[in-house]
């Protein structure tokens, strides 16, 4: 039972008991008065009735256990380990192999140290000639539309011997007139000079020889060219 209701019920019970006792007393007192003449009672000793001591009902002790306040659990923030992305190592750089095809014009490559110049002699029994050239030059042999080509390569300027077959020439000109102004290996020649090169044509035994020097106007190469031209021999 609720403790608040007990607080009001117990006094109400006590009050009802006292009220019942009072009503009982009044009823008995009225009967007593009516039985006495003149309405007065004889002198008697009246022992008052002692009202019973009300019994106090002990109220039950209610033990109230306070509800514990829940302590909020601390929200843990998960530690995230960052994902490490491996950086691929750099791919090796592959240097392509370059094949150089020599031509009569200047070929631009990385120069190599020039050794002390010496002279070398090249001979071709197939095309019937020989020629002397500086040893620092590299010799390349290949084909061209008019016949065979022999290139004496240098990064400063190329020298070459073109051998035209079947009446062909390595180059075309309308002024090819042979004269004795420059005689090479006993043959008259046609010489053509520009600021960058010198060309000399020789015709012998149905073959057309063209000697070419790309000197680019350099005096040292011009002097080397003159030696190169004069060293040409028909076999």
- How many Å apart are CA 138 and CA 81, to the nearest integer? 65
Structure confidence by residue, pLDDT tens digits, 52-91: 544 444 444 444 444 454 455 555 454 444 444 444 444 4
Is 101 a residue whose pLDDT tops 60? no
pTM (global) more than 0.75: no
pLDDT tens profile 122-170: 999 999 999 999 999 999 999 999 999 999 999 999 999 999 999 999 9
Which segment of 26-35, 46-55, 171-180 scores lowest on mean pLDDT? 46-55
Portion of the chain with pLDDT greater than 70, in percent? 59
**Residue 4, φ and ψ in degrees, nearest 5:** -65, -40
pLDDT score recorded for residue 82: 46
Residue 54 tokens read as 């009300």
Q: Dump the DSSP string for 185-199.
A: TTEEEEEEE-SSEEE
Distance, CA of 219 to CA of 225 (rounded, Å): 10
Residues 6+ apart with CB under 8 A from 136: 114, 115, 117, 154
């Amino acid at each position: 039972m609720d403790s608040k209701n007990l607080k009001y019920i117990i006094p109400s019970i006590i009050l009802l008991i006292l009220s019942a006792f009072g009503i009982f007393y009044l009823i008995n007192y009225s009967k007593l008065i009516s039985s006495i003449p003149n309405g007065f009672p004889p002198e008697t000793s009246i022992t008052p009735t002692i009202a019973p001591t009300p019994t106090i009902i002990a109220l039950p002790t209610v033990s109230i256990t306070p509800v514990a306040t829940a302590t909020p659990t601390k929200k843990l923030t998960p530690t995230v380990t960052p994902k490490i992305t491996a950086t691929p190592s750099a791919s090796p750089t592959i240097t392509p192999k370059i094949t150089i095809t020599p031509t009569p014009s200047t070929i631009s490559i990385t120069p190599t140290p020039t050794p002390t110049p010496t002279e070398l002699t090249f001979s071709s029994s197939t095309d019937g000639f020989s020629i002397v050239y500086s040893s620092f030059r590299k010799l390349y042999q290949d084909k061209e539309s008019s016949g065979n080509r022999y290139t004496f390569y240098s990064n400063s300027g190329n020298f070459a011997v073109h051998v035209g077959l079947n009446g062909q020439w390595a180059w075309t000109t309308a002024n090819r007139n042979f004269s004795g102004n420059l005689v090479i290996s006993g043959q008259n020649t046609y010489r053509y000079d520009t600021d960058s090169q010198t060309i000399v044509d020789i015709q012998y035994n149905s073959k057309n020889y063209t000697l070419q020097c790309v000197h680019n106007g350099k005096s040292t190469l011009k002097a080397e060219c003159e030696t190169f031209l004069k060293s040409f021999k028909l076999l």
